[in-house]
Amino acid sequence: MNTQTKNSLLLLLCSLIWGTAFVAQSAGSGMGAYSFLAGRSWLAVLVLIPTVMVFDAIRRKSGTDAKPKTAAEKKKLLAAGFVCGTLLFAASAAQQIGITINPSTAKAGFLTAMYVVLVPVFGLFLGRKGSAQLWVSMVVAVLGLYLLCMKNGFGSIESSDWLLLSCAVLFSFQIIAVDHFSPQVDGVRLSLAEFLVVSVESTAAALLFETPSAAQFAENALPILYCGIMSSGVAYTLQILGQRDLNPAIASLIMCLESVFSALGGWMLLHQNLSAREVFGCVLIFAAVVLAQLPLEMLHRAKKTT
């Protein structure tokens, strides 16, 4: 299995976990957004600390060591954790506040997934020109997302929609930041550093702007547990590992499958109906992901040489 296939599968699993987390986040909308984010982030830190230890033990047996040794390496890890963590905090807070104001997981899924377009657009400013094949895939994915999520059109634009759009912008920056730092530092350590930053920043925000209580955390224990362990601890680590050596635009396409998995999860687990329009939307998104990764340029070159 080549590196791109392996990384794509990691991001596919990441999308599956995120898709099911939308329901959990909606269930946790009864408490303050910063408090919910703080709870799930500290839980992610608790999961990632032993994970780092396990990975270190495995690497020692194979004769490798991923620990930062020099001051420069430690500084780079801290910088990576701060940048990625701050962007993730801002994006997650905007998403959770948006869901709290208007708990429509369909619209939230669509607007948040707009990073699928924003990542390659921002990439243009960094000198990354996407192929025609990639841009066609983006258009197909957005059409699929619209058919899947927006059953009755947009309706009126609400304040929560602007928050969710800002969330998409911030997630785009986070994806680009992970793409920049993941080849330079250990992925699991970066995930731990990232969530330490999110934990501290969200706790400070919760204490400043909300009145968190033990009762709130007890009432929302299950959503916090799922989002903390699976969505934060596991999925975001998979994102960092999967994005390594993978085009960030293709990575964003694969990760937008979270909307498909959210719909399929609702159909399979919650017995929600899927219309023909929604099924077609799912098919289009899957087709976009496959199209983006087809080696069309290689096939075209092979035809020219024959």
Let me know how many helices (H) and strands (E) the chain has, helices first.
15, 0
d(CA 50, CA 57): 11
Confidence grade of residue 302 (pLDDT, cut at 50, 70, 90):
very low
Domain boundaries, the chain: 3-305
Residue scoring higher pLDDT (9 or 149): 9
pLDDT per residue as tens digits for the range 189-223? 999 999 999 999 999 999 999 998 998 899 888 88
Number of Cβ atoms within 10 Å of the Cβ of 289: 25
| Model pTM score | 0.82
pLDDT value at 28 more than 70: no
91: closest CA among 197, 192, 9, 8?
Answer: 197
pLDDT of residue 295: 65
Give pLDDT tens digits for 50-85.
999 998 888 888 878 778 889 999 999 999 999 999
Q: What is the pLDDT of residue 119?
A: 87
Residues 219 and 242: their CA atoms lie apart, in Å, by 34
Please work out, in degrees rounded to the nearest 5, the angle formed at the alpha carbon of residue 93 by the alpha carbons of 88 and 97.
Answer: 155
